[in-house]
Structure formats: C-alpha cells, structure tokens
Amino acid sequence: MKNSISIFQTISTQQKQIAVLIDPEKSQDESMLNELIQKCEFAGIDFIFIGGSTVTRQQFEKTASYIKSTTKIPLVIFPGSSQQLSNDADALLYLSLLSGRNPDFLIGHHIQSALELNEMNLEIIPTGYLLIDGGTQSSVAYVSQTTPIPRHNLTAVKQIALAAKFQGKQLIYMDAGSGALHCVPNEMIQMVKKLNLPLIVGGGIRSIEHLKEIHDAGANIAVIGNKLESDIEFLLELHSYKKKLVSKIEQIQYDHGQKKYF
C-alpha cells in the first residue's frame, strides 16, 4: 500500500468529498491535462479517478503515469475493462456491475486481470457498481450491453445494494453514466446510505446545486467528469464550495471542543 492511510479509510470516514474523473481517451493533450490538474489542486479536489469505456492499455498507462508525476492528489482507477491497470495509481475500485447480468462485467474481467493485479502494489477496493438511468444511453450501458436501473425503482436498487453488502463489497458506486441528463435521484442515495456502506455517486453533476444535493443526501464522494470537459472553470466554483465546507467543519470541531470545557 502506497499511503499510510488507506484510500478506503479516507472514503469511508470522510463526508462530502469530490472526485474528478479523467478519461485518458479524452485527455491526451498534456498541456490541457496539466491545466486541469493544477485547477484540481487549487479547488481542493480529494481524488482523481481515471478510467473510460474504450481506453487502450497504452493510453491508460501513459495518462496515469503523467497524473501521478504531476500531483499528490490520490489517483484511483475506475476501470472500464481488465486492461485499465497501472502501478502508478494508488488504488483500484474493483467494480462488479451488479445492475446488469453480463458475466464479463460481473466476474469475467476480474478473472482476466487477477494474476497481474496480484503482482501490483495497488489497494484493491471491492465495489458494487450500479448503473442508474440518467435519461440517455451512457457509454457504460453500450459497452457492457446492460440496461440501467429505472430511476424510480427504489426496490431494485435496495435489493442489489443489499446483495452487494452480503457479498462483502466494501462500498457502493451509483452512476447515472457519462453525459447523463439527470443525476442519481436523492431518494436512492438516502436509501442506500442507510445500509451503512460508503457511497460514491456520479453522473449528470453540472452545478453546485446538483453537487450539494448529492452530498446532503449522503454521498461520501461525488464524481464530476463531463462537466469539466466543456467548462474547466467550474473548478473555480468547486474551490469556493470546498472552502465553505472546510469552514463549516472547522466551526463544528471548534464548537465541540468548546463544549468539553463546560
């Protein structure tokens, strides 16, 4: 493990974190990637996720290496296939696409990568991955040939999330997919949060209002991807949002500290 404090420990014990998702296929210009990373640091982004649906091994390793050499922000693999691996990353979300029934994405890619992963210095985090209908066909749905869970089917989401917990998954990732028109519904986030598993939510986040709703509903991490491809300056808004969060946390800690003396 590369860090004294594990990535999973950070995810599970901290609230209202933000991850930026970088797709190597869309980030091959190093000057643009460098600008994005610098602005991520300024904004106080907690994690950089790396992954995509159709990324080659060469693209993936090159981008991961560049990111790791450029920033100390923890780098977490969000893999779209068994080929998306790199020892330059800090951790890997070991995703099982439980919302679908395609065996390749339930266990197939895991088997293909198991021997190589066993030799790598990565923190591996077993993750139940649920694709939620975001109002448009996502690349995940297309590549995996699976159907997202309808956005109002709370029963299905609860059943799948419980099954993930019983299987020993350490966290749940609910995703509306790249380019989603709608975020994961707040009711779904609130319901899954009650299962006492750390929760990552992504897809369709295009404003601070979206981000705040997802955080307030219970997500440990909100993931932002497509928005930054069209509006990198959104990171300036994230900077202000993070500053307010830190101020609130410091005030709460101060208030609790004061109470000890009375």
Query: Confidence class of residue 3 from pLDDT cuts 50, 70 and 90?
Result: low
Query: Confidence class of residue 257 from pLDDT cuts 50, 70 and 90?
Result: low
pLDDT one-digit tens code per residue, 238-255:
999 999 988 776 655 556
Look up residue 53 and give its amino acid: S
Q: Which positions ≥6 away from 34 have C-beta within 8 Å? A: 70
- Distance CA(173)–CA(128), nearest Å, equals 6
Instruction: Report pLDDT for 259.
Output: 45
Please state the φ and ψ torsions of residue 95, each to the nearest 5 degrees.
-80, 130
pLDDT one-digit tens code per residue, 42-55:
999 999 999 998 88
Task: Report the mean per-residue pLDDT for the chain.
Answer: 92
More confident residue, 259 or 177: 177
Give yes or no for residue 133 having a pLDDT over 70.
yes
Q: What is residue 85's three-state secondary structure?
A: coil
Instruction: Report pLDDT for 258.
Output: 52
Q: Where are the alpha helices (H) located in 83-153, listed in sequence order?
A: 103, 109-118, 139-144
Give yes or no for residue 262 having a pLDDT over 70.
no
Give yes or no for residue 261 having a pLDDT over 50.
no
Mean pLDDT of 122-146: 95
Query: Confidence class of residue 168 from pLDDT cuts 50, 70 and 90?
Result: very high
- State pTM to two decimals: 0.93
Mean pLDDT of 191-203: 97
- Token pair 């790249």: residue: 178
Q: Which positions ≥6 away from 38 have C-beta within 8 Å? A: none
Instruction: Report pLDDT for 143.
Output: 92
Q: What is residue 22's three-state secondary structure?
A: strand
More confident residue, 246 or 144: 144
Instruction: Report pLDDT for 245.
Output: 87
- Token pair 């070991």: residue: 94
Which helix (H) or strand (E) segment holds residue 123: the answer is strand 123-131
Residue 88: exposure state from Cβ atoms within 10 A (0-12, 13-18, ≥19) = buried
